[in-house]
């Protein structure tokens, strides 16, 4: 009987670990190291759940692209869009050089630098109704984590910075992005 109870407990824990955060985990800090599960290629579910305070997040049906230049992951809850994670090459799109893009962000009085040991520069702008974290790689590739619903988080700047830091290993192409593990 005891072995069966232990097996049931292990089964429940395995299901919870595959599904992301439990309700009690939502109050924990957003991790700075990404781990599974991944909603889209390179998009860790746990950090998004903790940042938004929403446990039941899903990938929008229109999101199909693999991680790379031109990547978009749209994340929904029961009421619609919650967040987007995008990655695109800005060369030739009128955004200016990487240096000009960084200078523009630095000039924004609401932009807070993301301190990380990685190529490029990043900032969080959390004062807007749609807060975002942006990382600009030295080659002009730009990654944005945009929240379309402003969460009730007193640590929103820190949460966005931590989330961006967690995905930096693949943002500028230093590592391959982990493949999507949710909803496959």
- In degrees rounded to 5, what are phi and psi of residue 124? -115, 135
> How far apart are alpha carbons 168 and 158 in whole angstroms?
15
**19: confidence class by pLDDT, cuts 50, 70, 90:** low
pLDDT at res. 17 = 38
* C-alpha 73, offset from chain centre: 9
pLDDT in tens, 34-63: 999 999 999 999 999 999 999 999 998 777
Domain 2-171: state its class. Answer: alpha beta
Is it the case that residue 24 has pLDDT exceeding 50? yes
Whether 38 contacts 182, CB under 8 Å: yes
Is it the case that residue 8 has pLDDT exceeding 70? no
Is it the case that residue 2 has pLDDT exceeding 80? no
Of 67, 64, 114, the residue nearest 87 (C-alpha): 67
Is it the case that residue 25 has pLDDT exceeding 70? yes
pLDDT at res. 96 = 85
The domain ranges of the chain are 2-171
pLDDT at res. 10 = 32
Q: What is this structure's pTM?
A: 0.84
pLDDT in tens, 77-133: 988 889 999 999 887 777 888 999 999 999 999 999 999 999 999 999 987 678 999
What percentage of residues in the chain have a pLDDT greater than 90? 61
Is it the case that residue 32 has pLDDT exceeding 80? yes
H helix runs in the chain, sequence order: 2-19, 45-52, 98-107, 156-171
**164: confidence class by pLDDT, cuts 50, 70, 90:** very high
Whether 14 contacts 155, CB under 8 Å: no
**20: confidence class by pLDDT, cuts 50, 70, 90:** low
Whether 67 contacts 170, CB under 8 Å: yes
């Amino acid at each position: 009987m005891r072995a069966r109870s232990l097996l049931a407990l292990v089964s429940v824990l395995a299901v919870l670990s595959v599904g992301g955060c439990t309700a009690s985990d939502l109050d924990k800090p957003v991790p700075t190291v990404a781990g599974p599960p991944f909603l889209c290629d390179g998009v860790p579910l746990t950090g998004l759940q903790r940042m938004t305070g929403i446990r039941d997040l899903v990938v929008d049906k229109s999101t199909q692209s693999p991680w790379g230049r031109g990547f978009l992951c749209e994340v929904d809850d029961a009421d619609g869009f919650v967040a987007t994670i995008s990655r695109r090459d800005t060369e030739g799109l009128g955004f200016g050089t990487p240096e000009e893009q960084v200078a523009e962000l630095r000039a924004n009085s609401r932009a807070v630098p993301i301190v990380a040991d990685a190529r490029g520069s990043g900032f969080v702008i959390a004062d807007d109704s749609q807060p975002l974290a942006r990382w600009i790689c030295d080659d002009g590739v730009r990654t944005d984590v945009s929240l379309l619903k402003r969460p009730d988080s007193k640590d929103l700047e820190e949460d966005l910075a931590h989330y961006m830091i967690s995905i930096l290993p693949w943002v500028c192409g230093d590592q391959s992005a982990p493949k999507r593990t949710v909803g496959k």
